[in-house]
Amino acid sequence: MVYLCGEKYLGQVATQYAQMDPDAIVVLIKDGVYLDTTPLKGKKIFAIDEDVKRRGMGERIKAKAEIIGYDALVDLVVNNKVANFT
Amino acid sequence: MGQKKVLINISDGPFGNIFYTEGLRAAVGVSAGMDENIPTVLFQADGVYYCLKDVDRTDSMAYFESMKGLGTKLYAVEEDLAARGIASDELAPDITRIPRQKAFELFKENDHNIDF
Amino acid sequence: MAKICMLLTEGPWQSENYEIFAQFTEAALDKGHEVQAFWYLDGVYNAIKHQKFPEDVPLPVERMQAVIKKGAKITACGICVNARGLEGGKEFTEGVSVGGLPDLADMLSESDTFVAL
């Protein structure tokens, strides 16, 4: 499943499910880019380019998430079930 | 087209915002289409506060009644209850406690999930 | 091509969700997917056409008009519309219809995937 994390509080809830999911794909969108991803080590993590850049988070996030645009997000959403935590 | 299973997740407690009750209105609503989708409600994180037996359900009573008629299951995540010190005897009788692992299964089993 | 259902529960000017909605919808339509959306709660404010702002910035409703023009199908919750004094959506931009939760139910039945904002 794609865990769409749109804020810190809900992102923390999503993290607990994603940890149980061997196929978890985590997407950080909006304030989700502030999420502490330490508990998600080993999971595939993406972050939305524009949301990262606007928040000046590029340097902080580049080691833990792959930066993608909306185009790639659409592909993820149509190819996987979405778990909404926005 | 086709009947879908829809998980409604409520993650905020009452009454600071309207999501606790609008989520339940949506749970009833998603069953009202041509294909009579099957809703399930999951209270998680601070949403579990709405499962307290003494909580005022006045503004959601119609939805609880409708869900009872539909046979909608209402679940609360055990770990989230425990983290907030909520004991079984404090819960409303129509709420079923489930471990997070079972809640995760609900995400997988349902075709769609909506967060409130 | 996939059928995508979206839910938008926040209005413009206070939350960035309208912008995320517009960008995601535009990207999905450009890839040839179908997008149907249900605007619920304050999400119905996104449809009001008479938006004004003192500075020269793109208005949220203009972003929405662009995705409607591209093919997004949008229904606003009628109870939410009238609860907010929007009188059946008489000031709504073209392309937003006023319906009810049974419309969301049908969108969910028809869709391959669902995104909530």
What average pLDDT does range C76-101 have in this prediction? 97
Closest residue, chain A, to C4 (C-alpha): A78
From chain B, the residues in CB contact with C103 under 8 A are: 33
Containing H/E element for B108? helix B100-109
What average pLDDT does range B80-94 have in this prediction? 98
pLDDT value, residue B23: 97
**Is B33 within 8 Å of C108 when comparing Cβ atoms?**
yes
Check if B114 contacts C (Cβ < 8 Å).
Answer: yes
What ranges do the domains of chain B cover? 5-115
Mean pLDDT over the full length of chain B: 97
The CATH classification of domain B5-115, taken from the options 3.40.50.300, 3.40.1260.10, 3.10.50.40, 3.30.70.2610: 3.40.1260.10
B1 pLDDT above the threshold of 90: no
Q: What amino acid is encoded at C82 in this protein?
A: N
C18 pLDDT above the threshold of 80: yes
Closest residue, chain B, to C101 (C-alpha): B29
ipTM over 0.85: yes
What ranges do the domains of chain A cover? 2-81
HSE, side-chain direction, 13 A CA sphere, residue B81: 22
* Domains of chain C in sequence order: 3-116 (3.40.1260.10)
C85 pLDDT above the threshold of 90: yes
Name all contacts of B95-100 with Cβ < 8 Å and 24+ positions apart. Answer: B95/B43, B95/B51, B100/A16, B100/A17, B100/A20
Which of B44, B48, B104, B114 has the highest number of chain A CBs within 10 A, making it the mutation to test binding with A? B104
Question: Which parts of chain A register pLDDT below 70?
Answer: none
Out of B45, B108, B115, the one facing A86 most closely (by C-beta) is: B115
Touching B (3+ Cβ pairs <8 A), the chains are: A, C
What average pLDDT does range C84-106 have in this prediction? 97
CATH topology of domain A2-81: Hypothetical Protein Ychn; Chain: A, (3.40.1260)
pLDDT bin (cut points 50, 70, 90) of residue B109 is very high
